Amino acid sequence: MSALAVATGAVNLGQGFPDVDGPEEIIKEAVTALESGRNQYAPGPGILALRQAVAAHQDRHYGLTFDPAREVAVTTGATEGIAAAILALVDPGDEVILVEPYYDSYPAMVQFAGGVRRPVTLSLDPDAPGGRLPRAALEEAASAKAKVIVLNSPHNPTGTVLTREELETVAAFARDHDLTVVSDEVYEHLTFDETPHVPIATLPGMRERTLTLSSIGKSFSFTGWKVGWATGPEHLVQALLGVKQWLTFTSGAPLQPAAAYALEHLDHWPKELALDLQGRRDLLCDGLKGIGLDVTIPEGTYFAVSDITDLGWSDGLEFCRALPERAGVVAIPLQGFYDTDAGKHLVRWTFTKQREVIEEALDRLARGNLTR
């Protein structure tokens, strides 16, 4: 869809990346590292300073303590963390429970590992009986072959932030079925309206069975740096490192000191970014509602989801392919994030763009012919 935006001159509200860089002082730290000779291989697990900064971050924000030497690993973005985790933990024939809609690397890596994915559909209704991930739906996906559940909260693509009660349901399910949880928390600091992010590893009995992934990319608007990390019990982190050894081996040596600096000195920056994104979320969602689109208000992340059935469309892919010509805007159809047809009528928009870009997109949408 980003290529379609370039080819048609459309405003790109599809792919979720900021159009403004993160803090200048972090960039200066990277430049200093480049100019002072930090340009050769970093240690495979990551430089100690960054592993210490990650451990301190987890303790400071969530009360989770990890040994930087054995329970923290640096990855080439959270996407490599996902790949290494699934390849390390899933053997051919093992079943992996995925919450759909899901980030597209999850099913790809399950397939690489020879695993079998079992989808559970996330409800977009916060008042759904039993929560948005009810125990009954989880149980329906479980079998004796289930080994891993991949969790993502704050959630891409829907913007859902699971509540403590919803996470307790998932935690009880994981404990009862002896599952390992791979928890993708890259949007951990980008929640809105004072919605709390609760890492599932903080719940009783979950630290020892959870591998948590995050990165600098979303929290500090450096998505192109691809500096991420994994935290968890030693046996899970070391298993991940055993695979990373044969993926990238090591990650962005001059960027790691800058990431450590960000975690140690700039706690305020993601908070300010989240507040700014909340305003842009409101701008986008109010505008989409104003032109007749049903929008689920996201509690976090970069994204909002709308239902296009009121415009006469039943197929999000067909709608998104027509949108550049009809309105000069690009969005993402959600059906590619599902195994089932539950998301066929849904479309994702990003608000991680400057306000004037969002305003231009909304103006184009208002003037365009969106009805089927």
| Digit-coded pLDDT (tens) for 171-216 | 999 999 999 999 999 999 999 999 999 999 999 999 999 999 999 9
181: which 2 tokens? Answer: 């949880």
pTM surpassing 0.85? yes
- The neighbouring-strand residues paired with 306 are 295, 347
Angle subtended at Cα 184 by Cα 209 and Cα 70, rounded to the nearest 5 degrees = 50
Examine the domain organization and report whether 102 and 236 are in the same domain.
Answer: yes
Q: Which residue has the tokens 């990431």?
A: 259
The one-letter code for the residue type at 204 is P
Examine the domain organization and report whether 120 and 67 are in the same domain.
Answer: yes
Q: How far is CA 292 from the centre of its chain?
A: 28
Examine the domain organization and report whether 231 and 323 are in the same domain.
Answer: no
Which one of 213, 244, 265 terminates a domain? 265
Q: Using an 8 Å Cβ cutoff, are 13 and 281 in contact?
A: no
135-174: per-residue pLDDT in tens?
A: 999 999 999 999 999 999 999 999 999 999 999 999 999 9
Characterise 150 by phi-psi region: left (phi > 0), alpha (psi -120 to 50), beta (else). Answer: beta
Which one of 265, 285, 318 terminates a domain? 265
Q: Using an 8 Å Cβ cutoff, are 163 and 305 in contact?
A: no
Examine the domain organization and report whether 191 and 115 are in the same domain.
Answer: yes
Question: Is residue 372 assigned to a domain?
Answer: no
Number of domains in the chain: 2
Contacts of 276 (CB under 8 A, 6+ apart): none
Contacts of 88 (CB under 8 A, 6+ apart): 239, 240, 242, 243
10-36: per-residue pLDDT in tens?
A: 899 988 889 899 999 999 999 999 999
Kindly list the distances between the CA atom of residue 55 and the CA atoms of 46, 47, 62, 189, 204, in Å, as whole numbers in the listed order. Answer: 13, 13, 11, 16, 20
Examine the domain organization and report whether 117 and 28 are in the same domain.
Answer: yes
311-336: per-residue pLDDT in tens?
A: 999 999 999 999 999 999 999 999 99
Q: Using an 8 Å Cβ cutoff, are 159 and 296 in contact?
A: yes
CATH label of the domain that carries residue 173: 3.40.640.10
* Cα(173)–Cα(79) distance, integer angstroms: 25
Domain that holds residue 86: 24-265
